Amino acid sequence: MTLPSNAITPVPDIGVLHCTGPDTLSFLQGQLSNDFALLKHNQARLAAFLSAKGRMQASFIAVRYGPHDVLLFVHHSILAAVQKRLSMFILRAKVKIIDASGQWQLLGALGQAVSTVVQSMHGNTVEEFMPWQCFSNTDAQTGPQPKAVDAGGVEPESTHVPAWSITLYPAAQQPRALYIQPSQAQLPACIADLAAPDKQDILAKTWAWSEVLSGIATISAPVVDLFVPQMLNYESVGGINFKKGCYPGQEVVARSQFRGAIKRRTYLAHGQKLPVPATGAEIYSTEDLEQPCGTVVQVAQDPASANGSFDALISIKTDTAAQHLVIRHTEAQAQGEAPMETPISIKAVPYALLEDI
């Protein structure tokens, strides 16, 4: 299957944390791997939340909402834990972190649909997209509005409809974007016309597949605390700012970068048969089947595949990338059976690594 060249898809795996309050930007500046002090409305941020040992607890895509607030887009499987952990560091800062997932609708745009969603709020045609651009309407830049109540105590339907379109890394040479608007608001007609409500399941799987093919990994529950950001190539895709001040894990990140200590990288992998491996599954080289050489970070099946072929993002030791690799399925092993292994082929991610730039 090839990716659709003009489609709007559901994005069911991603939730929203709304960080609100006058200290939001400075708070996030001190907690995450990217620069939030300089975040503008026409920019999005890829960022990581790390442990003191530099291991990724979460990954986010972030946008400004009004003068102070920020929306963080994070995998549903870790949202509650991340909300709790981030909130522990608020202390006296004037910030609240709210699970706002139910308030927002997230859609993926593929191919020509990226131009459609951008034009729906921007008004002009954009010829070329770069990752982490953010196109937002006036309501998004104005920020949250106090709820109005009429004389009868009834809350009228809001005319405040903030919306954002975030351009992402392409997949299989198709442009991609994330579109966000309030969940109760009606979609613009140009977007609704592409939404194909009768194909939501296959389109959701298509978006998940495009996420893998883009080479940009998202942290989910099975892989929390396994990677420093460079193991997922985050320094090469705009996920780390090395010039900003301190944040948890910053010393580990800097040491890994500037002392040449990056021994693992993320690659694209392709497998031809079922079962599709689980996120977090271990990877072995056929030259050493005793010690794992890597981990499945993210995986998606080709939605049109009849034989179960899949693609995955894997983080492996760089010196094993040219070897024959297999993914080991632990389900059979847990039942006392011989572990099942799936051979995979490796190819480079579709962007240059910082060391090659």
* pLDDT tens for each residue of 62-91: 999 999 999 999 999 999 999 999 999 999
256 is a domain residue = no
Q: Cα–Cα–Cα angle for 263, 266, 270, nearest 5°? A: 130
- As given in the structure block, the two tokens for residue 289 are 């089947």
User: Which has the closest alpha carbon to 281: 320, 245, 334?
Assistant: 334
Same domain? For 191 and 111 the reply is yes
Q: How many residues does the chain have?
A: 357
According to DSSP, the residues that pair with 310 across neighbouring strands are 271, 301
Q: What is the CATH number of the domain that holds 308?
A: 2.40.30.110
Q: pLDDT-based confidence at 149, cuts 50/70/90?
A: very low
Same domain, 182 and 305: no
The whole-number pLDDT of residue 306 equals 75
- Segment 97-117 mean pLDDT: 97
196 assigned to some structural domain: yes
Domain shared by 115 and 52, yes or no: yes
* 256-274: average pLDDT: 88
255 residue type, one letter: R
In a domain, 247, yes or no: no
Classify residue 246 by its DSSP letter.
Answer: -
Element (H, E) at 57: strand 56-65
Point out the domain boundary residue: 173, 194, 214: 214
Number of domains in the chain: 2
Give the residue from 152, 187, 214 where a domain finishes.
214
DSSP for 1-43, written as a single string: ----SEEEEE-TTEEEEEEESTTHHHHHHTTBSS--TT--TTB
Both 75 and 197 in one domain: the answer is yes
Same domain membership, residue 301 and residue 167: no
Q: What digits encode the pLDDT tens for the residues 152-195?
A: 555 556 678 999 999 999 999 999 999 999 999 999 999 999 98
Between 38-52, 256-270, 290-304, the lowest mean confidence (pLDDT) is in 256-270
Give the pLDDT of residue 331: 62
Half-sphere exposure of 160 (CA within 13 A, CB side): 14
Residue 172, domain member (yes or no): yes
**pLDDT value at residue 126:** 76
Q: Are residues 39 and 183 in the same domain?
A: yes
pLDDT confidence tier of residue 339, bands split at 50, 70 and 90: confident
pTM assigned to the model: 0.94
pLDDT at 332: 53
Tokens describing residue 353: 């690594």
CB atoms within 10 A of CB 132: 21
Q: What is the extent of the structural domain holding 343?
A: 263-356
Question: What's 49's domain CATH number?
Answer: 3.30.1360.120
**Statement: residue 335 has pLDDT above 70:** no
Q: Does position 337 have pLDDT exceeding 70, yes or no?
A: no
